[in-house]
Amino acid sequence: MFKSVPGPPAYPIIGNILDIRDEVPIHAMANLADKYGPIFKLILRGKEVYFVSNCQMVGELCDETRFIKIAPDALTKDRPSGPSGLFVARESDPDWGQAHRILMPAFGPLAIGHMFDEMHDIATQLVLKWARKGPENRIPVTDDFTRLTLDTIALCAMDYRFNSFYQDEMHPFVKAMTNSLSARNGPSSLWDVIKTLGGGTSQDLLNDRKLMADVAAQLVKFRREHPSDKKDLLNAMVKGKDPRTGEGMRDELISANMVTFLVAGHETTSGLLSFAFMQLLKNPAAHRAAQSEVDRVIGMAKMRLEHLKDLKYLNAVLRETLRLSPTVPAFVRQVRDENNENPPSIGGYELPRDRKVIALISKSQQDPDVYGDDAKEFKPERMLDEKFEKLPKSAWKPFGTGMRACIGRPFAWQEALLVTALILQNFDLKLDDPSYKPSVKQTLTLKPRGLFIRATLRKGID
């Protein structure tokens, strides 16, 4: 006998949309989980949506034989016609299979290792900027990390320099991308709620999307007309052949994936870096331990790829940061067609087949049954390799799960380790406002809100 799934009462027409009306909707969802338990349901746009938030149920949801990924509405709603990039495509879409098989080797550790020098180049631009502006400069950390991650993915993916550190005006592509991301933000005002119900898409949003698609198409055309030997993601797509069919990717599909990499590959990593420094500056013992490790492993030398594998504590800092502040705080699943449970269920609760189930990992990654009473505290030690490897698989899922897990994970990890180490090697840091209270901003991803730091160039290391 299955239990019925609890949830707040819904209003006619608007359902439960007001229950998640919050500047940070993911916080409203976590509050509902506190009230209704590890599974609850809401009526959104006329349909039941289920939310699970403990490690055990997220584990069930990650069972690839029973559940499958569904792309979030925010990304699929009113998409223009044409092929889908990896992130939003359905697994059954042949374009997803082809792009996945061609791109997997290009995102492997060896290929990403070859991108080290370019990542280092952009990271050095950030270090030079902070050094030149001096210790009195209030650094808008998140903005600078966004410049950095965008320039890095553009250079490594398609040999294109946005040069964001050298100009005040952002590139039109960046403006269009920023606008379209904020337009997809969750409803925060009553007017937004009404617009959401109306389901309209503004002309501005359509124009922004078109501009992004046009820029990507021009880059693909340019590469076709000016071939190069560069080992970047664009060449992997332009030259690659599907090992299953022997076919190459068509230009439209390449362009759709270029836009995907630029969008998926920068906000997420920029949020990770911003939260990592927020945590280090709020936790002086962890900050000292991280900086000592950098001094021990790299010292004053120029950083090399080989150094990264020895930065064990820094690795744990990044893992613990993504545990407490996953920049993609949730992912969406649905019962697989092949699942012949009758009826399908999760944790003893019945689930309808055609309903979305959201894994609230920002909550499940703080499950006290796994992480104990101090689950909300920042303790990198618990994420050192020997402890990390013993955690249940579903306890840490910031990169999603299964076949549809993040293809960019090795890229993001190398970049984040490199940048964190380079900053700690070169600067002593402090919060601009020592009483800064951690606060979060939610667009498509999560980032710290209002975080400013100061950076003093280190004179030498003992």
Active site positions, annotated: 268, 399, 406
Which residues from 153-192 bind ligand HEM, rule CB under 6 A?
153
For ligand HEM, which stretch binds (CB under 6 A), given 4-12, 34-42, 295-303, 325-333? Answer: 325-333
For ligand HEM, which stretch binds (CB under 6 A), given 9-17, 20-28, 259-267, 302-310? Answer: 259-267
Compute how many residues bind ligand HEM; rule: CB under 6 A. 24
Shortest distance (Å) from residue 461 CB to ligand HEM: 28
Look at residues 235, 264, 15 and name the one whose alpha carbon lies nearest to residue 103: 235
Q: Per rule CB under 6 A, is residue 398 in the interface with ligand HEM? A: yes
Q: Which of 399, 431, 436, 441 binds ligand HEM (CB under 6 A)?
A: 399
Is the Cβ of residue 21 or residue 400 nearer to ligand HEM in the bound state?
400
Shortest distance (Å) from residue 75 CB to ligand HEM: 9
Strand duo 440-442 + 47-52: pairing: unpaired
Q: Per rule CB under 6 A, is residue 412 in the interface with ligand HEM? A: yes
Q: Per rule CB under 6 A, is residue 63 in the interface with ligand HEM? A: no
Q: How far apart are CA 332 and CA 400, in angstroms?
A: 9
Residue nearest to ligand HEM (CB): 408
Shortest distance (Å) from residue 55 CB to ligand HEM: 16
Q: Which of 174, 249, 407, 440 binds ligand HEM (CB under 6 A)?
A: 407
Look at residues 451, 453, 409, 408 and name the one whose alpha carbon lies nearest to residue 427: 453
For ligand HEM, which stretch binds (CB under 6 A), given 25-33, 261-269, 286-294, 428-436? Answer: 261-269
Q: Which residues pair with 360 in a beta bridge?
A: 330
Is the Cβ of residue 8 or residue 402 nearer to ligand HEM in the bound state?
402
Is the Cβ of residue 5 or residue 407 nearer to ligand HEM in the bound state?
407
Is the Cβ of residue 325 or residue 454 nearer to ligand HEM in the bound state?
325
Is the Cβ of residue 10 or residue 383 nearer to ligand HEM in the bound state?
383
Q: Per rule CB under 6 A, is residue 84 in the interface with ligand HEM? A: no
For ligand HEM, which stretch binds (CB under 6 A), given 28-36, 168-176, 239-247, 260-268? Answer: 260-268
Shortest distance (Å) from residue 333 CB to ligand HEM: 8
Shortest distance (Å) from residue 178 CB to ligand HEM: 17
Q: Per rule CB under 6 A, is residue 328 in the interface with ligand HEM? A: yes
Q: Which of 16, 54, 98, 327 binds ligand HEM (CB under 6 A)?
A: 327
Shortest distance (Å) from residue 269 CB to ligand HEM: 4
Q: How far apart are CA 109 and CA 427, in angstroms?
A: 29
Q: Which of 21, 41, 69, 307 binds ligand HEM (CB under 6 A)?
A: 69
Is the Cβ of residue 282 or residue 356 nearer to ligand HEM in the bound state?
356
Shortest distance (Å) from residue 270 CB to ligand HEM: 9
SS (H, E, C) the chain: CCECCCCCCCECCCECHHHHCCCCHHHHHHHHHHHHCCEEEEEECCEEEEEECCHHHHHHHCCCCCEEECCCHHHHCCCCCCCCCCCCCCCCCHHHHHHHHHHCHHHCHHHHHCCHHHHHHHHHHHHHHHHHHCCCCCEEHHHHHHHHHHHHHHHHHHCCCCCHHHCCCCCHHHHHHHHHHHHCCCCCCHHHHHHHHHCCCCHHHHHHHHHHHHHHHHHHHHHHHCCCCCCCHHHHHHHCCCCCCCCCCCHHHHHHHHHHHHHHCCHHHHHHHHHHHHHHHHCHHHHHHHHHHHHHHCCCCCCCHHHHCCCHHHHHHHHHHHHHCCCCCEEEEEECCCCCCCCCEECCEECCCCCEEEEEHHHHCCCHHHHCCCCCCCCHHHHCHHHHCCCCHHHCCCCCCHHHCCCCHHHHHHHHHHHHHHHHHHEEEEECCCCCCCCEEECCCEEECCCEEEEEECCCCC
Q: Per rule CB under 6 A, is residue 325 in the interface with ligand HEM? A: no
Shortest distance (Å) from residue 9 CB to ligand HEM: 29
Which residues from 265-304 bind ligand HEM, rule CB under 6 A?
265, 268-269, 272
Q: Which of 260, 321, 362, 366 binds ligand HEM (CB under 6 A)?
A: 260
**Measured CA distances, 396 to 196, 217, 319, 321 (Å):** 32, 37, 8, 11
Phi/psi zone of residue 199: left (φ > 0), alpha (ψ -120 to 50 degrees), beta?
A: left
Q: Per rule CB under 6 A, is residue 440 in the interface with ligand HEM? A: no
Site of interaction with ligand HEM (CB under 6 A): 69, 86-87, 100, 153, 260-261, 264-265, 268-269, 272, 327-328, 331, 398-400, 404, 406-408, 411-412
